[in-house]
Structure 1
Amino acid sequence: MDHVDVKRLFFEHFSSLKHKKLPDVPLIPPEHDTSSLFINSGMQPLKPLFMGLQKPPASRLYNSQKCVRTGDIDDVGDNKHLTFFFMLGNWSIGDYGVTEAAQFAYDLLVKKYGMNKNKLWATVFKGDKKLGLGRDDNMFAAWQKIGIPRERIFLADAEEVFWVSGKTGPCGPTSEMHYDFGASKGCGKKSCNPTCDCGRFMEIWNPCVQISYNRNAAGKLTSLKLKSIDAGAGFERIVGVLQGTNDVFTTTIFKPLIQQIEKLSSKNYTHNKKAMRIVADHVRASTFIAGEGVTPARKDQGYVLRRIIRRMVRYSKQLGIDRSGIKQLVRFVIDDFKKEYPYLQRNSKQIAGIIGNEYDNFNKTLEKGSRLLAQLMQTTKGKTLRGVDVFHLYDTYGFPMELTRELAAEKGFKIDENGYEREFAKHREVSKKGQSKKFVSGLADHSEMVIKYHTVNHMLLSALQKVLGPKVTQKGSNLTAERLRFDFNWGEKMTPEQLKKSEDIVNKWIKQDVPVTMEEMSVADAKKAGAQGVFTHKYGAKVKVYTIKGISKEICLGPHVNKTGVLGQFKIVKEKSSSAGVRRIKAVLE
């Protein structure tokens, strides 16, 4: 069965069961969701619905959601792990329970997809004293009622089958469906079960996540009034099972991309599985992440993107694929997904620029850094590299700690991760002290002209988001009485038309003489109100939120003008590159 048909049948199945389809959302979570850097499941955007904070569009929902899971980056290279993947999801919000959810999943797998029912196993929560919860007898009974025999229902502990959405938030016991590829594919142990990582079993669906509790910061569980079900199926894994392979990279989803990698490298997949799997997954992940305006950086989403691209570069070089080859692979991914995700085509130049720039930056230091690492391993007594040396590789050569760990492990070395973290903390403290000597919020002083430039700085950000897209964020600013200097994430030179449009929008807002108001509130309330914030980690319990009505709402120390009409004529005088993936605008008020 082709992967296109797998998704189509999923949609048809849940539509026939009176579920409403939801749209796929961006990979970057909204500001109020700090539980993860990326959307990592189909239900993550729906947490407010499960918590009863928002009214759902229907009590039964389904969709296909693109996801990124950063914890799996080091595992990519085997037959099943992916950094970037698609989750097929269906949800009950105060509607049906585990019995119906299990039946819906079983019927689709066995009756619609034609999967061998004798190959299906289920895991059930066995209870946990620390959580104060007993065995999930309702779930156990549901699987037996459907027809899965007792010997294929495995009782698992909380680490395996108790779902949490983050450090805090909704949680509850879950149940997974696993496909058994047979004892010959596994470890051969009698104790082998679905939680064994030997390769015999593959988790394909999590059809019964019971969103029954809320976990607070202290780890205490409280029962939710609204009981719901979250079900997530791994699209790529289901396709693999239906196509008779436990290697997702040999499915129709990945096969064309793998063939392109084989062509560019003049090597075959059979003898280069790990490298080709990593390049295939990472080029998809980096294309989609860069497509949403993320640029390589030293923290947050930008750090993940940098790490993915640099790992991809390392393995592409092993295969003999150069910069132009990577560019062709990025184009291949865009062409493959442009109908379903047209923004990839619209942002294709930006995507190519971001990935190409990072390739160049890393390429300059890869040889030197690799040579230094080899020297460190030769001169190190024992098999553990010092944290200070690992940090030096990161700070000087741009080697993410995880990459150094991976390279070192290939030679039998470990790294002192605690020592690395100590060096990183020292560096961060020095940077903070240095920043304290600079302009507060980028302002040289609180003179009348500097205050005007501060206000128009907010307006310029909003204008750029209108012209280039909502993922544009401020990367820094410097304001004096003579000019504004504004840095923002963008992977290519702005066109004259884009600059003119941005300038015109700001001048239109100035002429409208819009009032500027300020309100003090908590950071949480500011985020709920939709306020943007660049340096929120510097703020205390209360923050100032400046609103330019209908234009901008930002957490800011101020000060600002009272009305936009006093600003004068805004003019962009220069736009250039500031650093990889970051552009700089210089503008004046006349």
Structure 2
Amino acid sequence: MNNYSLHKIREEYLNFFKEKNHLVRESFSLVPKNDKSLLLINAGMAPLKPYFIGTLEPPNKRMSTCQKCVRTGDIENVGKTDRHGTFFEMLGNFSFGDYFKTEAIDWAWEFMTEVLKISKDKLWVSVYLDDDDAYKIWNEKIGVSKDRIVRLGKEDNFWEMEVGPCGPCSEIYIDRGEKYSCGDEDCKPGCECDRYVEVWNLVFSQYDKDEKGNYNPLPNPNIDTGMGLERITAVLNDANNIFEIEPIITIINEVEKTANVKYGEDKKTDVSIRVITDHIRAMTFLVCDGVIPSNEGRGYVLRRVIRRASRHGKLLGIKGNFLNRLVDSVIDNWKEFYNELDDMKGQIKKIIKIEEEKFEETIDQGIEILKSYINEMKSNNETTLKGEKAFKLYDTYGFPLDLTKEILEDEDLKVDEEQFNKEMESQRNRARSARSSDGIEAWDANKSLDLDVGIKTEFEGYDKLSSQSKVLAIIKESQSIEKLSENEEGYIILDNTPFYGESGGQIGDKGTIENKYFTGSVYDTKRNNDRFLHLVKVNSGEIRVGDQVNALVDKSIRSDIARNHSATHLLHKALKEVIGEHVNQAGSLVTEDRLRFDFTHFEALTKEQVNEIEKVVNKQIFDSLQVEVLETSIDEAKQMGATALFDEKYGEKVRLVKIGDYSMELCGGTHINNVSQIGMFKIIGESGIASGVRRIEAVTGRKLYNMINEMENEINSIATILKTNKDNFIEKAKSTINEVKTLEKEIDMLKSKLANSKIDDLLKEVYKVDGINIITKKIDGMDIDGLRQLGDKLKDKTDNIVVVLGTEKDNKVNFIATATQDAVKEGIHCGNIIREVAKTTGGGGGGRPNMAQAGGKDPAKIQEALNKVKELVKEQLNK
């Protein structure tokens, strides 16, 4: 056998199929495009599914790839076994209605025996038990003897996922020799031992499995093959496992150096080394493909991988953050084939470092608490951690459940997951209840209404702002009624409307509905499936079901909303340009006053980035890009490269909003005709709203114009106060601040002199309690800073002293207490003294044994409060 390295096998494989007229394509992203059935790409054929089922035309009927894949279903076994990994590369050759079983089998045999030089005597094959065609090809055409062809059942030799292309398959096995055998005389492919290793799966895709489990024949049978790159490399090099091959072994070497341990000397240590080695590849490629750590979806997969690796680093004794440094080893060894790794290096390391730092803040505390739970369980002979405790770790300390489970498993313990889930649901219910009590969840326009199914609204608002309409229904307090009278409010459903119903982040239109017997103001418009509900307050007359009305949208408000909506599209594109392609929309709000855009990103934007985003958006506005709205199919829109929220439900026809050659998004909202109508764009806020999600708020058009006017008025007012003009007010403000600082220094000096002048008089008032010197005094007109200075000076003048001072200034009560170290050693605690003193005046406070301060509310009781000090000191000394 040729003991090729991993990179060499990849190169040989792709070149081989290129010579067989296959289009060799670079790996697709780990993030599925337009496929809701997958969280992450987990097989070589997954990105090609549309070509297999015929929804998209393939660029070539023959293709070959080396596809990046991530699977986390067996993540707990990673590092413990020789074969499990979260990240791997899958070699594959594919036919979309071109060649079928004969060519697929023939070329697979040719590659194995002539390119990799694997002895034919070492090769075995399996076929699906009913697949006589494949059996004949292997036996009669290729020449594999019957005793080396094994028929296996559906579990082993029928490839399928939950839905999608599937069919019988044939697998190629390599016999690794008797030293890996279980010893059974009947040992052959299908046995659980490590002698026969399956390296290549040839799937003959003849069916498309639907969601009901039906196997529908494909119009043209396809070929889908998969060979794990790491596994075939390990077999060719006779390595013990997928971790001990080039270049993966170089990562192990880096982990050894970082942890100062030796691989191969301790089984438990080896598990941690392999976990880190596997996970560092997974996290590097995931971040490179735009995944951001979060608490759900693929972001949670990444977070879990990073945190597992970080924890295993701690088990190896690694102090502090280390994962971002190991990223270099991955990039250096894979960048030749995946050059995007090098391009994204800085960002990859930054995201991983930030996530590891976040975990660092919680893991130590969480582990200590979990250890205490474990000790308690063992002392009580318990084997299951209560779900409430696991939930407290999660909810209070950010400690993930899977990490709790993993640590417990190391101790042969488990967690009550059912109770944990109940606690989680209770928390959700409390949150929902809180929202409801706050009035946030009022009547929901999206809930089912008891109306005739024929009551629907036709929306005409893209092209016009007024319409002649008929009242189909009236809703008040969730009930269908016949009329609304003067000063009453309710929802009116029309047969057609120019009013846009709230959806896609854009608020509903406002305006009026009227006829000669009635006038009503529309305060909001919502959607209920195919119905538009207009929230109307009747100003005069009454409106009845069946009435004909004029529906008039407020043009100025609609225009302001449209400006902000088009600006949102420009902002989305600008964020991708300035911050990176990993940015994706996570929510939005478009009103007449402002726009709000939530997006995936791992850290706060810098001032420079915010300025650059503004600059990019305004450039498009000043370039007067035309806004074009097209109606097309969802598949055509995707082929054109449109940005969309592909988790959203889209109909057969979609609206594609195209802004020049700059932006192209699927959108059902209303827009302006040319972005120059936006006027100008200004970001007024940038903040974080969740882990991995940031928010930008911005204004445009008239709102921005009004804001500029308000700012100018404020500047003029400030200039007037500073007795200067607006052109000079900044310099005047600076000089005024400097003057204030000079005066504050003079005041501090006067305070110090004032304190010094009182020291001698106060020292004459010292009295003793059980050997402790005490001074208590009310000082009029002094602030808390002056009081502290005076207390410190008194303390410096006398040994073994407690000083408690009170003051009233500007109708505010303040106390300080200070004590020398020798007094503290005797049992004095200023924090406890000041707390009780302040209570007398209706206040509170506390502090350290040698220094504390407090506030109060009743100046008349200052002296009464100070009189308590003597008894408080006595109590402390007696203790």
Aligned residues: 577
Residues 323 and 137 of structure 1: CA distance in aligned 2, closer, same or farther (over 3 Å) = farther
Shift, 1:363, TM fit:
1.6
Residue number in structure 2 paired with 1:229:
223
Deviations 1:435-471 (A, max 9, x none): 7828986678865556643442232112222344433
Residue number in structure 2 paired with 1:141:
136
Residue number in structure 2 paired with 1:357:
354
Residue number in structure 2 paired with 1:453:
564
Match of residue 341, structure 2, among 320, 325, 344: 344
Shift, 1:114, TM fit:
1.9
Q: Is the 8 A contact 1:61 1:90 kept in 2?
A: yes
Residues 5 and 392 of structure 1: CA distance in aligned 2, closer, same or farther (over 3 Å) = same
Q: Is the 8 A contact 1:454 1:479 kept in 2?
A: yes
Residue number in structure 1 paired with 2:409:
409
Residue number in structure 1 paired with 2:696:
585
Cα separation, 1, equivalents of 2:432 and 2:588: 17
Q: Is the 8 A contact 2:280 2:309 kept in 1?
A: yes
Cα separation, 1, equivalents of 2:14 and 2:638: 34
Cα separation, 1, equivalents of 2:618 and 2:568: 13
Residue number in structure 2 paired with 1:71:
73
Could you tell me which amino acid in structure 1 is paired with residue 254 of structure 2? Q
Alignment of 1:39-438 (within 5 A): 39-77=41-79, 78-126=81-129, 135-145=130-140, 146-164=142-160, 166-189=161-184, 192-206=187-201, 208-270=202-264, 271=266, 272-377=269-374, 378-379=376-377, 382-428=382-428, 437=440
Residue number in structure 1 paired with 2:864:
none
Cα separation, 2, equivalents of 1:540 and 1:231: 33
Could you tell me which amino acid in structure 2 is paired with residue 261 of structure 1? V
Cα separation, 2, equivalents of 1:22 and 1:46: 11
Q: Is the 8 A contact 2:293 2:602 kept in 1?
A: no
Q: Could you tell me the TM-score, scaled by structure 2's length?
A: 0.60
Residues 189 and 315 of structure 1: CA distance in aligned 2, closer, same or farther (over 3 Å) = farther
Cα separation, 1, equivalents of 2:638 and 2:434: 28
Q: Identity across aligned pairs (percent)? A: 37
**Unaligned regions of 5+ residues in structure 1, if any?**
127-134
Residues 185 and 457 of structure 1: CA distance in aligned 2, closer, same or farther (over 3 Å) = same
Residues 434 and 558 of structure 1: CA distance in aligned 2, closer, same or farther (over 3 Å) = farther
Deviations 1:172-227 (A, max 9, x none): 11122222323433544556544444433332111x20110011111011111111
Tell me, what secondary structure is at the counterpart of 2:357? helix
Residues 149 and 390 of structure 1: CA distance in aligned 2, closer, same or farther (over 3 Å) = farther
Shift, 1:577, TM fit:
5.4
Residue number in structure 1 paired with 2:6:
3
Q: Is the 8 A contact 1:3 1:239 kept in 2?
A: yes
More displaced stretch, 49-58 vs 542-551: 542-551
Alignment of 1:480-499 (within 5 A): 483-492=594-603, 494=605, 498-499=609-610
Could you tell me which amino acid in structure 2 is paired with residue 463 of structure 1? A
Deviations 1:479-511 (A, max 9, x none): 666544433223355566654553233224434
Cα separation, 1, equivalents of 2:14 and 2:345: 29
Q: Is the 8 A contact 1:390 1:401 kept in 2?
A: yes
Cα separation, 2, equivalents of 1:248 and 1:581: 33
Cα separation, 2, equivalents of 1:359 and 1:548: 40
Tell me, what secondary structure is at the counterpart of 1:21? strand
Cα separation, 2, equivalents of 1:388 and 1:147: 63
Residue number in structure 2 paired with 1:130:
none
Shift, 1:557, TM fit:
7.0
Cα separation, 2, equivalents of 1:247 and 1:209: 25
Q: Is the 8 A contact 2:127 2:169 kept in 1?
A: yes
Residues 485 and 211 of structure 1: CA distance in aligned 2, closer, same or farther (over 3 Å) = same
Residues 353 and 221 of structure 1: CA distance in aligned 2, closer, same or farther (over 3 Å) = same
Q: Is the 8 A contact 1:121 1:178 kept in 2?
A: yes
Q: Which has the higher contact order (CA 8 A, sep 6+)?
A: 1
Alignment of 1:546-585 (within 5 A): 547-550=657-660, 552=663, 558=669, 561=672, 564-573=675-684, 575=686, 580-585=691-696
Shift, 1:554, TM fit:
5.0
Cα separation, 2, equivalents of 1:419 and 1:518: 51
Match of residue 17, structure 1, among 7, 14, 20: 20
More displaced stretch, 215-224 vs 188-197: 188-197
More displaced stretch, 497-506 vs 439-448: 439-448
RMSD: 3.4
More displaced stretch, 539-548 vs 321-330: 539-548
Q: Is the 8 A contact 1:323 1:356 kept in 2?
A: no
Deviations 1:234-283 (A, max 9, x none): 11111111111131111112111111111111111102321111101101
Determine which structure has the larger strand proportion and give its number: 2
Cα separation, 1, equivalents of 2:636 and 2:16: 40
Shift, 1:79, TM fit:
1.5
Cα separation, 1, equivalents of 2:416 and 2:193: 28
Could you tell me which amino acid in structure 2 is paired with residue 28 of structure 1? V
Q: Is the 8 A contact 1:139 1:175 kept in 2?
A: yes
Could you tell me which amino acid in structure 1 is paired with residue 332 of structure 2? D
Bigger CA radius of gyration = 2
Residues 228 and 460 of structure 1: CA distance in aligned 2, closer, same or farther (over 3 Å) = same
Residues 431 and 104 of structure 1: CA distance in aligned 2, closer, same or farther (over 3 Å) = farther
Cα separation, 1, equivalents of 2:568 and 2:675: 12
Residue number in structure 1 paired with 2:820:
none
Q: Is the 8 A contact 1:507 1:570 kept in 2?
A: yes
Shift, 1:535, TM fit:
9.4
Cα separation, 2, equivalents of 1:13 and 1:540: 41
Q: Is the 8 A contact 2:625 2:659 kept in 1?
A: no
Residues 6 and 434 of structure 1: CA distance in aligned 2, closer, same or farther (over 3 Å) = farther
Cα separation, 2, equivalents of 1:150 and 1:387: 56
Shift, 1:112, TM fit:
1.6
Shift, 1:574, TM fit:
5.2
Tell me, what secondary structure is at the counterpart of 1:71? coil
Q: Is the 8 A contact 2:599 2:694 kept in 1?
A: yes
Q: Could you tell me the TM-score, scaled by structure 1's length?
A: 0.87
Tell me, what secondary structure is at the counterpart of 1:465? helix
Deviations 1:542-571 (A, max 9, x none): 998572445555566746556533322012
More displaced stretch, 430-439 vs 114-123: 430-439
